Amino acid sequence: MKRISIITAGAAALALTLAGCGGSGDAPEESEGGLRTVNVVGVPVVDMAALYVGENQGFFEDEGLELNIEFGQGTAAMIPALLNGQYDVQYGGSINLLQAIDAGMPLQAIAVGGRTTGVQGEDHGALLVSEDSDIQSPKDLEGRTIAVNALHGLHEVALWQSVTKDGGDPEKVTFVEMALPDMGAALENGEVDAVSTAEPFLGLLLDEGTRQVTSPYADVDENFATALYFGSDEAIAEDSDLYESFVSALEKSFAYSSEHSDEVRAELGNFTQIDPDAAETMILTDFTWGLSYDDLLIVAEAGADADTIDDPEGTAKKAATYVDPQ
């Protein structure tokens, strides 16, 4: 496997200028060993360790596949390259995919990529404040400034649910975009009142004395899918066997990862810069398998509540074309 190739912002911009509404590229190449190469693109986060674990166990080879994984700088920025046929499969945020489909992009989910643990205080994403902050619950975020890694993205949409379900008005919350590594300093300096972060930064900030207010992913729903694998309509229609084989191998990879968290943690150093000590203690995603229209509707309705998706039912139905065609 070709381990890491970073797509720069400039390359993503170039892909955007070349993208049309669809059109798959050449069929996946066949390696010298007779395996078909599946080009996968995603963001280098913990969830994707399941791919490497699955490859180590031979699940993809058993399906006649060889993975070529590349990493980019954000789900939305990489979608044009997927539509151009540069990639066969993309891993990305669930909210981003549903927003893209709502905007008319010809995409559909093929599998879950990760989900909340559903347990408050024991999830891989959390809202943190300084230890002496007077923010005690999501409702207290009214009138405050919260750092999220992307405006209108996963964290912001989830926090809308947190605030609303606690009796607050998310319209009264100010969200500012900030890189995850910069949030700790901003919180300490008083630039923001709270930060919405995820592992491994979550554990690091807790060790530095911050306090957890809520687990936004779990606030959405105990089965909230935080990430998805997806492909373009045309590519899936033209080569359904490839996607069936990929999903079959991925399902085995998820099952194995669920039972062997030590191997998931050990794999992180091969494609992230996570400190080995942090990898040993961080909260992992829930690798429970399964994805349906109902799962996707949860995501779409959360996006609609946050005013980022116009047609949640239609969007979820379109997204579920492959996983739940009925």
Per-residue pLDDT of the chain (326 residues; tens, 9 = 90+): 322 333 333 333 323 332 333 333 454 566 567 899 999 999 888 999 999 999 999 999 999 999 999 998 788 889 999 999 999 999 999 999 999 999 999 999 999 999 999 999 999 999 999 999 999 999 999 999 999 998 999 999 999 999 999 999 999 999 999 999 999 999 999 999 999 999 989 999 999 999 999 999 999 999 999 999 999 999 999 999 999 999 999 999 999 999 999 999 999 988 888 888 889 999 999 999 999 999 999 999 999 999 999 999 999 999 999 998 86
**Is residue 107 located within the same domain as residue 179?**
no
pLDDT at 30: 63
**Is residue 111 located within the same domain as residue 251?**
yes
**Is residue 13 located within the same domain as residue 55?**
yes
> Among the three residues 182, 200, 220, which one is the final residue of a domain in this structure?
220
> Among the three residues 179, 195, 220, which one is the final residue of a domain in this structure?
220
With CA atoms as reference, report the closest residue to 73 among 182, 151, 150, 186: 150
**Is residue 98 located within the same domain as residue 216?**
no
**Is residue 237 located within the same domain as residue 109?**
yes
**Is residue 286 located within the same domain as residue 201?**
no
Residue 1 lies in a domain: no
Residue 161 lies in a domain: yes
With CA atoms as reference, report the closest residue to 321 among 113, 110, 115: 110
Cα–Cα dist 110/132, whole Å: 44
The CATH code of the domain that includes 195 is 3.40.190.10
pLDDT at 23: 36
> Among the three residues 220, 252, 285, which one is the final residue of a domain in this structure?
220
**Is residue 175 located within the same domain as residue 249?**
no
**Is residue 263 located within the same domain as residue 199?**
no
Residue 58 lies in a domain: yes
Cα–Cα dist 46/282, whole Å: 10
Helix axes 9-18, 75-83, angle to 10 degrees: 40
pTM reported for the whole predicted model: 0.88
**Is residue 94 located within the same domain as residue 162?**
no
Place of tokens 């619950």: 137
List 120's β-bridge partners, or say none: none
3-state secondary structure the chain: CECCCECCHHHHHHHHHHCCCCCCCCCCCECCCCCEEEEEEECCCHHHHHHHHHHHCCHHHHCCEEEEEEECCCHHHHHHHHHCCCCCEEEEEHHHHHHHHHCCCCEEEEEEEEECCCCCCCCCEEEEECCCCCCCCHHHHCCCEEEECCCCCHHHHHHHHHHHHCCCCHHHCEEEECCHHHHHHHHHCCCCCEEEEECCHHHHHHHCCCEEEECHHHHHCCCCEEEEEEEEHHHHHHCHHHHHHHHHHHHHHHHHHHHCHHHHHHHHHHCCCCCHHHHHHCCCCECCCCCCHHHHHHHHHHHHHCCCCCCHHHHHHHHCCCCCCC
Cα–Cα dist 42/45, whole Å: 8
Residue 325 lies in a domain: no
Buried b (16+ CB within 10 A) or exposed e, 216-226: bbbbbbebbbb
Residue 4 lies in a domain: no
With CA atoms as reference, report the closest residue to 238 among 28, 41, 67, 70: 28
- The type of residue at 108 is Q
pLDDT at 44: 85
**Is residue 103 located within the same domain as residue 139?**
no
Residue 324 lies in a domain: no
Q: How many domains does the chain have?
A: 2
**Is residue 67 located within the same domain as residue 109?**
yes
**Is residue 99 located within the same domain as residue 43?**
yes
Domain of 85 in residue numbering reads as 9-116+223-319
Residue 176 lies in a domain: yes
pLDDT at 326: 60
